[in-house]
Amino acid sequence: SGPGSNGTPLQTRPSQTKIKAKPRIERNRCLVTGGAGFVGSHLCTYLVERGDHVICLDNLFTGSKQNIAHLLQYENFEVIRHDVVNPILLEVDQIFHLACPASPIHYKYNPIKTLKTSFLGTMNMLGLAKRTRARFLLTSTSEVYGDPLEHPQTESYWGNVNPIGERSCYDEGKRVAETLAFDYQREHGIEVRVVRIFNTYGPRMALDDGRVVSNFLAQALEGHPLTIYGEGNQTRSFQYVSDLIKGLVTVMDGPETGPFNVGNPTEFTMLELAKLVKEVANPDAEIVFQENTADDPAKRKPDISKIKNTLGWEPKIALRDGLLLMIDDFKERLKHERPVNAL
């Protein structure tokens, strides 16, 4: 069944089982900022399939029309090219606020714009939530924990962030976005949800975004060496994108503000990841070691007890299975696109 045909009820609107038969006005109107990006395009697909009316808003800085091309045929999907740094007037019920470059090379490219996007963009979308009384979900990040001194990271940990380093535009931008969200809730009674996303991977990751999973997979498939930055002892915990989407929707439709960590707690060193990618994509690929970037967090692993105990969410897809699920998409795109930064 295609999008629009299998709507399941929303917690907040339990009568919406036969989406197709409902007048358009009764649909849940969801705004997805950053909807043409990696995560946003998967979220838009999920919401369109659920039968919601989805408005994808994006300035196409790191997102692409290609990511949402499969949705354009559905009458419950529309796209607006717009920059969240500027206000916009729309009528919506839920705002999933994702718009923000997420990979280090993209957010470092124009750090002041990254900060404007995080601060002004979030303020504008909270203003929209205030006017429409929409529920607002912020996609924050594990980067708010910086180079963490607590391991694994619980939501009560305040973090160890360098406020003036090269990553600060993103880390501090997201921290102030969280502050804004909580202040709008306290001051204006907006229904706010905050999710701290840990490293996520899957089909439609930009080939040139420099993140480790997309780099290693593209490198292995092209027969190039896998580039480990530093000695490869730093750790990350990788979640497959479909697990994240279920987490985002669970938090949005659930009763609690959060913040909630949403990630897969199984931790890997970058050397372990490189070996796994080799194994599933190209056993002949070499591994090379390069100088690491500044302020690279040494370890990262979410404690997900809070979301598991309160909302019953936990990830389902193991890293090896998730990598296998993205290989075909990467192979296909590598025929037409050059991953300029990845190789």
Catalytic site residues?
170
- Nearest distance from residue 116's CB to ligand UDP, in Å? 20
Contact with ligand NAD (CB under 6 A) among 100, 128, 277, 304: 100
Q: Based on the shown chain and the rule CB under 6 A, indicate whether residue 99 belongs to the binding site for ligand NAD.
A: yes
- Give the tokens for residue 181: 């969200």
Nearer to ligand UDP among residue 63 and residue 254 (C-beta)? 63
Any contact of residue 51 with ligand NAD (CB under 6 A)? no
Is residue 251 within the footprint of ligand NAD (CB under 6 A)? no
63 binds ligand NAD (CB under 6 A): yes
Instruction: List alpha helices for 104-191, DSSP H.
Output: 104-109, 111-116, 122-132, 168-188
Q: Per-residue x/- marks for ligand NAD, 15-34, CB under 6 A?
A: ------------------xx
Residue that is written with structure tokens 């980067």 in the block: 143
Amino acid at 248: L
- Considering beta carbons, is residue 187 or 291 the nearer one to ligand UDP? 291
Q: Which two tokens stand for residue 107?
A: 């957010």
Residue 232, sorted as left (phi over 0), alpha (psi -120 to 50) or beta, turns out to be left
User: Quick count: other Cβ atoms within 10 Å of Cβ 329?
Assistant: 14
Q: Are 218 and 207 in contact (CB under 8 A)?
A: yes
CB of 104 to ligand UDP, least distance (A): 5
Torsion angle of alpha carbons 289, 238, 94, 9, nearest 10°?
150
Binding site for ligand UDP (CB under 6 A): 103-104, 199, 210-212, 215, 227-229, 234, 236, 270, 292-293, 296
Q: Using an 8 Å Cβ cutoff, are 95 and 239 in contact? A: no
Token reading at 170: 């993103």
C-beta separation of 336 from 186 below 8 A: no
Binding mask of the shown chain, residues 178 to 217, with x at each position contacting ligand NAD by CB under 6 A: -------------------x-xx-----x-----------
61 is a contact residue toward ligand NAD (CB under 6 A): yes
The secondary structure of 199-240 as a DSSP string is: -EE-TT--TTS--HHHHHHHHHHHTPPEEEETTS--EEE-EE
Cα first-last separation, the chain: 38
Q: Which does 234 bind (CB under 5 to 8 A by kind): ligand NAD, ligand UDP, none?
A: ligand UDP
Query: Please, which residue, 19 or 197, has the CB nearer to ligand NAD?
Result: 197
CB of 235 to ligand UDP, least distance (A): 8
**Choice from 28, 45, 94, 117 touching ligand NAD (CB under 6 A):** 117
Q: Residue 227 — φ and ψ, nearest 5°?
A: -95, 105
For the bound state, the minimum distance from the C-beta of residue 286 to ligand UDP, rounded and expressed in Å, comes to 13
Q: Which does 128 bind (CB under 5 to 8 A by kind): ligand UDP, ligand NAD, none?
A: none
| CB 31, min distance to ligand UDP, A | 26
Q: Which is nearer to ligand UDP, 8 or 233 (CB)?
A: 233
CB 66 within 8 A of CB 94: no
Residue with tokens 């995080």: 118
Tell me whether residue 71 or residue 270 sits nearer to ligand UDP (CB atom): 270
